Amino acid sequence: MAEFHVTFHPGGPAAAAPSAKELEAEDPYELVGLTFEVPPDHDVDLLMARTFVEEYALMGYSRPALRKLFETPFYAGTHDILVRRGPAYVDSVLDEVFGAEVPGDEAGEASAGAAPADEGTSRG
């Protein structure tokens, strides 16, 4: 698992080695967590990957542009998924959204039918 490192040097490089300190639960500034049971079938990587891909694809992003979001380490959320699950996993998500032929066009056509041909909307 990759971790971000923020390096700072108070007082210059000579003073740049603070002693390593482990997390102490009673430190009021430490992370205060709540625990929740996560359903066993809750694959958070898949849900996140699909969120990233579909959010952008719905705004017209292409498959190659989205693949880049996973490859570039500066996009930490997407890149983490690629590092953790591997390129084939990412490709399978991209395949699913961009590649597969499935019947029906529910939201798109239904709404297109409701909108007049030239302009305006059916609301009101």
Applying CB under 8 A, the residues found at the interface with another protein are 1-8, 17-23, 28-34, 36, 38-39, 42, 44, 47-48, 51, 54-55, 57-62, 65, 80, 96-112, 114-121, 123-124
**Residue 82 contacts residue 76 (beta carbons within 8 Å):** no
State how far the Cα of 70 lies from the Cα of 56, in Å rounded to an integer.
13
DSSP state of 123: -
Q: Which is nearer to another protein, 12 or 104 (CB)?
A: 104
Min dist CB 67 to another protein, Å, is 13
Q: Which is nearer to another protein, 11 or 33 (CB)?
A: 33
> Whole-number minimum distance, CB 50 to another protein, in Å?
8
The smaller minimum CB distance to another protein, of residues 87 and 115, is found at 115
90: left (phi over 0), alpha (psi -120 to 50) or beta: alpha
Q: Which of 81, 59, 62 is nearest to 70 (CA)?
A: 81
